[in-house]
Structure 1
């Protein structure tokens, strides 16, 4: 399997600064790695360096892409004689909350999905939730304002700010039941080819239960403790575009060696 990383925009022989530590550690560990220019790719020019071997499996490690952009990347990989580890459908399954929600409903806050600009008051009228956590299909609002809406009127405010700071509302709007969570308890886990991994080696039961439900070769699982200590699933993500967070780079790369 070959790892594919974005290169530095100004020096195509070097990895982008964001991925430099991981790229260099992977090379040092003897893993096959290639670089590509994200800027050239957006202009229709895809030239991985080094080139892929025929029928080689390629795992992307780079920026978040929308489903259309990811599909274009897969087409480019296949045109270069290789094949992607993760399909477009598998990418969407973990990248968009509505795709995985029904599979993990028992572990995560209750959620409804509406279009941007919908009648939010009508959507939540019968829910009687204490507050609302608002995000689009991919991410929440990361400014100091945060994504919690304490009233129906604030739901529209959060959606507007997501659009302002991210440039768009991707997919649609997710309105989640607000739950009181214990601070500083969020932990990211990864699942690769069906096997869950923890940075400290201890995989909690909730992650072990989620792993077989998700038909994707590589994804992240974000778990946090509720105020009463119950583990809760906050987010799934495609592993290719998920940050390592607190994971030491060497421990992260061990995932791909089993």
Structure 2
């Protein structure tokens, strides 16, 4: 497995600080690692280092990209006679909640998808839900206000705060039925080439089931128990842009050695 990481903005020969531990763990494991400048790429200049070794299948490990930006990365890598392991279509299927929701709707909270101009009052009334969890297609609000709403006005408030603090709503608005969860039970699993990996080597049946439903070479599955002790899928994500969370760096890169 060959890995592509963002470099330090001030030293293009070193990994970005956020990925340094993982990068060095991968190198220590004997994996081939490349660096590129995310800032230069945003300006249309893609120069992986070391350039003379850049070929074959590449797995990106870096910052979240919009599906459109990821497609540009796929094209830039192809122009260097290499190929991303995950296609732009597969990236979108795991990165945007509406793209994976239908495949997993029986194991995840009910969700409706809205645009900024929709009639929130009418849409929420049709659900019959008592409370809502609000996010865009990728992220929820991370301020102290939180993302839980109990009426349309509060949904509008959360959407406005997302726009204010993040600059935009990515994709659209997801309103999910609120469930009481046990946050201390949340665990992130990874699926690589149809093999499921767990931080503590125990894979629940629900994770194996979800893994069989998704057509992507590398993605993450976030499972949490609700207040009734039922395992629920809270997020699916493209593995390339998913945080390790509680995973040790060496344990994480061990997936790529298999």
TM-score, length-normalised on structure 2? 0.98
Q: Which residue in 1 is equivalent to 2:71? A: 71
Q: Which residue in 2 is equivalent to 1:39? A: 39
Structure 1 residues 242-253: aligned runs within 5 Å: 242-253=242-253
**SS at 1:143 equivalent:** coil
Post-superposition shift, 1:128? 1.5
Equivalent-residue separation in structure 1 for 2:117 and 2:3 (angstroms): 40
Q: Indicate conservation of the 8 Å contact 2:55/2:80, yes or no.
A: no
Q: 1:119 to 1:13 in 2, by over 3 A?
A: same
**SS at 1:175 equivalent:** strand
Q: Which residue in 1 is equivalent to 2:115? A: 115
**SS at 1:3 equivalent:** strand
Q: Which residue in 2 is equivalent to 1:225? A: 225
Post-superposition shift, 1:183? 3.1
Q: Which residue in 1 is equivalent to 2:157? A: 157
Equivalent-residue separation in structure 2 for 1:52 and 1:237 (angstroms): 32
Q: Which residue in 1 is equivalent to 2:58? A: 58
**SS at 2:219 equivalent:** strand
Which segment is superposed worse, 46-55 or 5-14?
A: 46-55
Deviations along 1:123-145, whole A, 9 cap, x unmatched?
A: 11121211010000001001111
Q: Which residue in 2 is equivalent to 1:145? A: 145
Deviations along 1:180-225, whole A, 9 cap, x unmatched?
A: 1113111110000111110000011110000010000000001100
TM-score, length-normalised on structure 1? 0.98
Equivalent-residue separation in structure 2 for 1:30 and 1:119 (angstroms): 54
Deviations along 1:52-108, whole A, 9 cap, x unmatched?
A: 647510000000000111011111111111011000110000000000000001100
Q: Indicate conservation of the 8 Å contact 1:6/1:16, yes or no.
A: yes
Post-superposition shift, 1:38? 0.6
Q: How many residues end up aligned between the 2 structures?
A: 258
User: Where does structure 2 lack aligned partners over 5 or more consecutive residues?
Assistant: none
2:16 maps to 1:12: no
Structure 1 residues 126-205: aligned runs within 5 Å: 126-205=126-205
Q: Indicate conservation of the 8 Å contact 2:55/2:82, yes or no.
A: yes
Equivalent-residue separation in structure 2 for 1:190 and 1:54 (angstroms): 26
Equivalent-residue separation in structure 2 for 1:219 and 1:98 (angstroms): 16
Q: 1:257 to 1:128 in 2, by over 3 A?
A: same
Q: Which residue in 2 is equivalent to 1:255? A: 255
Equivalent-residue separation in structure 1 for 2:37 and 2:124 (angstroms): 44
Q: 1:253 to 1:54 in 2, by over 3 A?
A: closer
Post-superposition shift, 1:117? 2.7
